[in-house]
Amino acid sequence: MLGLCIAVLTVVVLGAVCFAVPPAEGLGELVRIAFLHIPAAWVSVIAFFMSAWWAASYLRKGEIRDDARSFSSARLGFIFTLLAAVSGAVFSKLTWGAYWNWDPRQTTILVLLLIYGAYLTLRSAMEEHARRARVSAVYSLFSFLTVPFLVFIVPRLYFSLHPTPVLNGSGSVDMEPVMLLTLFAAVADATLIYVWLLLKSSRKEEKI
């Protein structure tokens, strides 16, 4: 049932992105990339938080289900982070003339990619199940300590060309209603895809 809802929502979002969303001022047709990029970036951050949450839960209770969820969330987070990084780089090349500019948000997504990559590498290097779960949970939480740096320090270190967020500094929404609605639908769709894949993947992991 969830799969069917996601399929319908995905078709609606794709239709809206291709046919309903008007070209944006200054960005033209390139604005359509944002409807893939923003939801992917959103899910990559959510997946990181959830992976750390379930890692903490595993260390507290020792239930294998929490380890399976933490791992599945990290694996999906890695894929969504890759999507966000690639779509961001393409957008960057087409608008700013270079794939990589060390923009604060690009830096954040790169650090996230490194953390996910390191976590998955560590897991693959551990053969014994219980130790693998424990060690991965510890690394997941230890790498979570970088969050204050990514949120507070990185934006002060690098100059940003990144477009302002949907909700800008003055608290107002600077976007056409149809774009905003499509963006919310795309974010909801990506989040549901993440939840659906997470449930499927973690059930499979629990059985292994």
Partner 1 sequence: MRPSTFQSIKLVLRKEITTGLRFRAAWAAMLMFSFTSLVCISFALAGTAAEPKLLAALLWVLLFFSSLAGSDRVFSDEEADGTLMALRVYAPSQAVLFGKLLYEFFVLTVITVFLLPLFIVLLGAETKEMLLLLCTVGAGLWGISAAGTLLSALIVGAGVRSGLFSVLMLPVILPVFIPAIRLTEAAFGGTVVSLNFLGGILLYDMILSVGASILFDYIWYAE
Which range touches partner 1 (CB under 8 A), out of 2-10, 20-28, 71-79, 142-150?
142-150
49 near partner 1, judged by CB under 8 A: no
Dist. CA 51–CA 171, nearest whole Å: 30
Site pattern 153..182 for partner 1 (x: CB under 8 A): xx--x-------------------------
Dist. CA 202–CA 208, nearest whole Å: 10
Q: Contacts with partner 1 in 96-135 (CB under 8 A)? A: 111, 114-115, 117-118, 121-122, 125-128, 130-131, 134-135
Return the closest-CA partner of residue 76 out of 189, 190, 197, 186: 197
CB of 63 to partner 1, least distance (A): 15
Dist. CA 155–CA 18, nearest whole Å: 33
Dist. CA 64–CA 131, nearest whole Å: 12
82 near partner 1, judged by CB under 8 A: no
Give per-residue burial for 100-115: e unless 16+ CB within 10 Å, then b: ebebbbbbbbebbbeb
8 A C-beta contact, residue 164 and residue 173:
no
Residue selected from 146, 160, 191, 201 as contacting partner 1 according to rule CB under 8 A: 146
CB of 49 to partner 1, least distance (A): 16
For the record, the structure tokens of 175 come out as 């976007």
- What residue ranges bind partner 1 (CB under 8 A)? 59, 111, 114-115, 117-118, 121-122, 125-128, 130-131, 134-135, 137-139, 141-143, 145-146, 148-149, 153-154, 157
